[in-house]
Amino acid sequence: MPDTAAATLLIDGRRHSAPATFDVVDPASLDVLGQAADADVTHALAALDAAAAAARGWADTDPETRSGHLRAAAAEIRARQGELALLLSRENGKPLAEANGELTGGARMLEWAAEEGRRAYGRVTPASAAGPGLVLRSPVGPVLAITPWNFPASMLLRKVGLALAAGCPVIAKPAEQTPLIATALLDIVQATGLPAGVLQSLTTTRPAELVGALLADRRLRKVSFTGSTEVGLGLLRQTGDTLRRTSLEMGGHSPAIVFADADLEAAATGVVTAKFFNAGQSCTAVNRLYVHESVRDDLLALIEKKTAALRLGRGDAEGTTIGPLIDKAGLAKVENQVADAVAKGARVLIGGSRWESGDPALRGHYFRPTVLTGVTADMLISHEETFGPVLAVTTFTGDDEAIALANATDYGLAAYLFGSDLRRVWRALDRLDFGVIGVNDPAPVRPELPFGGQKNSGQEREGGAEGIEAYTETKAVALRF
Ligand code: NAD
């Protein structure tokens, strides 16, 4: 099923075959799913040559034309959604329904970028004694877009859409676990008739080497990275003596607070959704649940029932609601956090172990959806991003205690509040140190909202009006008549 184009690289408007390829593994069965081209530093520099050469022309292309490419790509993704969702599900392991949702989300992000690109306004300031002032925005220039495997479609389309809409050429560097869906989507964008050099695609097993070579070249003007905090902070350190715009969307450790006045049925559904979506491998996944002691037992009974109803399996099999973890290291991390919590006194309410079905088609790395109660601050799971299907539950008595517990982390991406008292919710919104907050909403990511984190979860925003700004430079012009 995967396109043979996946074994080639897109550079300067043409597909190039690389001297080497690498295997792409189906995480559900561990079978080989296809091959991707393994780019080296020569390809990376050729991609930057092409992007640098295309930069002026693309910046001068009128925004309406740029928007047209993005709208056409979104329409094609919607038209081919079934086929693309199957590929995404097989390559990443997520249930088909989630793969379909991710592609719809990606198309919506392209559409938003197409609309916002036409509204990247500047400002005119009131005239001083000398004359008026202008604030102009211009495209930042060639962009490197580095994306992760957990949302390999939507993260890529969000970056590519916003950068192209702003007038910047892009070098996309998808994750090595999921190059096939990335290649298929980038082909769709290119096939809208983009001029040569405006979009490049580099799949590789040597990300550090390639990215290092690109960062050492002053022609690269922006890096937009989504991935782990460790790698993101490493990129900042590598910038060396050339400053460039850097957007970082990194790890998370999201708290969910359930107040005593919450609709418990809705809160339980919300927490289970935000926790187990993508098998817990989401930067916005709920890691820590803080529940008011007065509703603890009722809420946990609902959460246990809903967790028990989840069905493990292949993402592309009917009825599956939770798929495998991406690899062995992901499984080991989850097992280690559970063992550490249990050794320090946590109780397993449900799950707690690997799932092995004995079916050769399900040889991947599965972990049962798990809920741990009695979780305390000394446990690893209270500090480390889990990136797996484990919910850590702690009770609280006062609102300020819940907010302090939620903020007690170096991460600051997403948080969730469940409650009906607006005054209490507003007070919590004011005090929580997180970039994205869902109020009775387990899916707070929308194209029209700026997405991003505080503290070690990131800098700059993707989406909203801020999303275009992140790909533009500001020029202040003082006019004297
Ligand atoms: P990762 O950091 O290992 O990889 C992300 C990307 O960086 C991949 O394309 C990879 O090839 C590349 N990369 C890896 N090492 C590199 C290096 N030394 N130099 C340059 N590039 C390098 O992360 P991952 O495992 O793919 O993704 C999971 C992480 O991403 C989690 O921590 C998750 O929270 C985070 N994430 C964040 C967001 C967000 O928007 N904040 C969204 C999704 C995922």
pLDDT digits (tens, 9 = 90+) for 260-274: 999 999 999 999 999
- Ligand 1: nearest atom to the Cα of 204: 11
Report whether 165 contacts 65 (CB < 8 A): no
When pLDDT is cut at 50, 70 and 90, the band that residue 2 belongs to is low
Catalytic residue among 91, 111, 249, 460: 249
CA-based end-to-end distance of the chain: 64
Query: In angstroms, what is the span from residue 250 Cα to ligand 1's centroid?
Result: 7
Query: How many other β-carbons are positioned within 10 Å of the β-carbon of residue 436?
Result: 25
Query: In angstroms, what is the span from residue 435 Cα to ligand 1's centroid?
Result: 19
Of the chain, the percentage scoring pLDDT greater than 70 comes to 99
pLDDT tens across 53-79, in order? 999 999 999 999 999 999 999 999 999
pLDDT of residue 128: 81
pLDDT of residue 1: 55
When pLDDT is cut at 50, 70 and 90, the band that residue 127 belongs to is confident
- Ligand 1: nearest atom to the Cα of 283: 34
Of the chain, the percentage scoring pLDDT greater than 90 comes to 96
Q: For residue 461, give the 3-state DSSP assignment.
A: coil
Residue 249's contacts (CB-CB under 8 Å, 6 or more residues apart) are 155, 225, 226, 227, 232, 283, 451, 452, 453, 457, 458, 462
408, exposed or middle or buried, with CB in 10 Å at 0-12, 13-18, 19+?
A: middle
pLDDT value at 114 more than 80: yes
Fold of 9-250+457-478: Aldehyde Dehydrogenase; Chain A, domain 1 (3.40.605)
Residue 283: active-site member: yes
CA 319 – CA 311 distance, rounded (Å): 7
Residues with a CB atom less than 6 Å from ligand 1: 146-151, 155, 173, 175-176, 207-208, 211, 226-228, 231, 234, 249-252, 283, 385, 387, 413, 453, 458
- The protein residue whose alpha carbon is closest to atom 35 in ligand 1 is 227
Mutate to test the pocket of ligand 1, among 92, 150, 246 (most ligand atoms within 8 A of CB): 150
**What phi, psi does 346 have (nearest 5°)?**
-75, 155
When pLDDT is cut at 50, 70 and 90, the band that residue 130 belongs to is confident
CA 392 – CA 291 distance, rounded (Å): 11
Query: In angstroms, what is the span from residue 85 Cα to ligand 1's centroid?
Result: 22
The domain spans of the chain are 9-250+457-478, 254-445
Query: In angstroms, what is the span from residue 225 Cα to ligand 1's centroid?
Result: 7
DSSP secondary structure, 37-104, as one string: E---HHHHHHHHHHHHHHHHHHHHS-HHHHHHHHHHHHHHHHHTHHHHHHHHHHHH---HHHHHHHHH
Report whether 253 contacts 392 (CB < 8 A): no
Query: In angstroms, what is the span from residue 227 Cα to ligand 1's centroid?
Result: 2
* CB-based burial, 364-389: b 16+ in 10 Å, e otherwise: bbbbbbbbbbbbeeebbbbbbbbbbb
- The protein residue whose alpha carbon is closest to atom 37 in ligand 1 is 250
When pLDDT is cut at 50, 70 and 90, the band that residue 4 belongs to is low
Averaged pLDDT of the chain: 97
pLDDT value at 424 more than 70: yes
Residue 168: active-site member: no
pLDDT tens across 353-401, in order? 999 999 999 999 999 999 999 999 999 999 999 999 999 999 999 999 9
Mutate to test the pocket of ligand 1, among 22, 41, 146, 456 (most ligand atoms within 8 A of CB): 146
Mean pLDDT of 80-105: 98
pLDDT value at 177 more than 70: yes
- The protein residue whose alpha carbon is closest to atom 11 in ligand 1 is 175
pLDDT tens across 192-229, in order? 999 999 999 999 999 999 999 999 999 999 999 999 99
Say which residue, 276 or 3, is predicted with more confidence. Answer: 276
pTM across the whole model: 0.98
Mutate to test the pocket of ligand 1, among 147, 250, 327 (most ligand atoms within 8 A of CB): 250
Query: In angstroms, what is the span from residue 226 Cα to ligand 1's centroid?
Result: 5
CATH number assigned to the domain covering 254-445: 3.40.309.10
CA 40 – CA 100 distance, rounded (Å): 32
pLDDT tens across 238-256, in order? 887 889 999 999 999 999 9
Catalytic residue among 102, 111, 283, 462: 283
Q: Write out the two tokens for 293.
A: 């002691």
pLDDT value at 40 more than 60: yes
CA distances to 266, 294, 399, 404 from 260, rounded to whole Å, are 13, 6, 10, 17
When pLDDT is cut at 50, 70 and 90, the band that residue 158 belongs to is very high
CA distances to 209, 405, 416 from 402, rounded to whole Å, are 43, 5, 12
